[in-house]
Structure 1
Amino acid sequence: MTTARPGSAVLRPDVLGRRRRADRARQVAEVIRRQIDRGDFPQGHLPDERELGAEFGMSRNTIREALELLRGEGLIERVPGLGTRVSTEKYAHPLDHLRGLAETMRPYGGITNEVRTAGPIRPPRSVADRLRLPAGSPVIYLERLRRLDGLPLSVDLTYLVPEIGEQLIAHDLRNRDVFGLIEQICGQPLGTAEVTLEAVNADAHSAAMLGLPLGGAMLVAERFTRLADGSPVDLEFLRFRGDRMTMNTVLHRPAREDRR
């Protein structure tokens, strides 16, 4: 007989068993998802259910449930007679160095830019403040749809300080990252960038541009970049396809006196 504390729910053994299997399936799915991200499966073929069950020490029902989770995310497809294979390639975007998208994606292919908007605008006060500009000062606004070998990958909304942005948009940006151009214009390297990441569901406009279903997963980044001398140079809002991009970095444990 099962006894519960006052106010707590009592789970029947069959419900508890299903919950535990669901937990185990998620555990398996998380590991396989990372293997897919790293490209661990030769030619994109996953081992069969029997092999996966032996590797994870799980029942075939649990393995099937895990694979169904991944199939629902669009990561794999299960083809009768052919087994299970990766359906979409993911691209790793390291966060440990300040690089443009073309520099970062070079191992995977070439980046091209569709410049949708480029010119001066009056920015919101919050943008002007971040760029250390007086209220009412113009900035250069640049909006690009960025493709990797033809695949829509990100939409970049960039606000640039005017003395740099005016020179930058005079260049042909279709096949160039802006970071290299900024360094060329300023005669000094970029220094640091503050990056904030969050996951959101794609709105209708973003979904149409990126080839995502409405409500599909997007990674949204805010990146505020300074030159080596500390001067603000640009503020960007970047929308990446969540089904194609993974962000990774290496973290270091701080010294004991800094853990406050």
Structure 2
Amino acid sequence: MEADDGGDGHRGGAVGDGPTRADRARRVAHVLRGQVVRGAFPGGVLPDERALVAEFGTSRNAVREALGLLRDEGLVERRRGVGTVVVGRTYEHPLGELSGLAEVLQRHGTVVNEVRAARIVRAPGAVARRLELPEGSRAVYLERLRRVDGMPLSLDCTYLIPEVGEPLLALGPERLENRDVFELIERAAGRPLGSAEVAVRAVVADPATCAVLGMTAGGAVLAVDRLTRLADGRPADLEFIHLRGDRLTLRARLDRVREG
């Protein structure tokens, strides 16, 4: 008979009828997923089922279901004679600093940007307003597929004000493939950056985005909307970024603000 404490070690004072096996599996998967993302398992091998049962105080069936959830996500796989091993590498991007994704990911592997579009366009009305450009103004549009060690990780669609974007276009495709936009803005355009406003949503990717990112249909992505400003406060760069939700973790340290 399975334990019904949900892996938290408490039986008394419970509300309701107690967690189901699916609930217990989900809770175990939450903890294991976090460990996989942080690289907590030496050699990439998870503890065996018996050790996990003891650690979480739950049943073997719940542990097996939890491991099945991680397998379905592409994070682990079962290998005969070895056990459950980590196969889906994830990357972290800190939210507490203004840095380009490539700047961060270069710490983890070889970053290549496939330039899918680089041209001057008429800025859509909503884009012009956010970039504080007159209606009907031109903007530079960049679309790049970012790969880390050959694996597609993000699709970046960027609008830049002309004085910032046109010097980048003049550099040619090779520089756009091998440098982060933030670095190019500051070095090639000579415009120091100051701050950014970021919003992140989890969405189901459309079929075209799934195809570009090498994901199965209906996969989840982190949709990032980022407006970056120059040091003088003017908007310079509006990005719509789709990140593979199964391969990237956004991380930040947040301090409690206390009054008085």
Q: TM-score if structure 1 supplies the norm length?
A: 0.88
Amino acid at match of 2:194: G
Aligned residues: 242
SS across alignment from 1:237: strand
Distance change (3 Å), C-alpha of 1:138 and 1:188:
closer
Contact 2:160 2:236 in 1 (8 A): yes
C-alpha RMSD of the superposition? 1.6
Match of 1:150 in 2: 150
Looking at structure 1, the residues matched to 136 and 224 of structure 2 have their Cα atoms a distance apart, in angstroms, of 26
> What is the percentage of aligned positions where both structures have the same residue?
58
Match of 1:114 in 2: 114
Looking at structure 1, the residues matched to 92 and 22 of structure 2 have their Cα atoms a distance apart, in angstroms, of 28
Amino acid at match of 1:38: R
Amino acid at match of 1:145: L
Match of 1:8 in 2: none
Please state how far the C-alpha of 1:178 moved relative to its aligned partner. Answer: 1.1
For residues 53-72 of structure 1, the aligned pairs below 5 Å read 53-72=53-72
Please state how far the C-alpha of 1:186 moved relative to its aligned partner. Answer: 4.6
Amino acid at match of 1:220: A
Contact 1:101 1:111 in 2 (8 A): no
Amino acid at match of 2:95: L
Amino acid at match of 2:142: L
Question: Which 5+ residue runs of structure 2 have no aligned equivalent?
Answer: 1-16
Looking at structure 2, the residues matched to 149 and 67 of structure 1 have their Cα atoms a distance apart, in angstroms, of 26
Matched, 1:99 2:99: yes
Looking at structure 1, the residues matched to 224 and 149 of structure 2 have their Cα atoms a distance apart, in angstroms, of 22
Question: Which 5+ residue runs of structure 1 have no aligned equivalent?
Answer: 1-15
The 4+ residue runs of structure 1 with deviation greater than 6 A are none
Matched, 1:219 2:222: yes
Contact 1:102 1:110 in 2 (8 A): no
Among 191, 195, 198, the alignment partner of 1:192 is 195
Deviates more, 1:177-186 or 1:27-36: 177-186
Q: TM-score if structure 2 supplies the norm length?
A: 0.88
Looking at structure 2, the residues matched to 81 and 114 of structure 1 have their Cα atoms a distance apart, in angstroms, of 39
Among 176, 201, 206, the alignment partner of 1:203 is 206
Looking at structure 2, the residues matched to 205 and 27 of structure 1 have their Cα atoms a distance apart, in angstroms, of 33
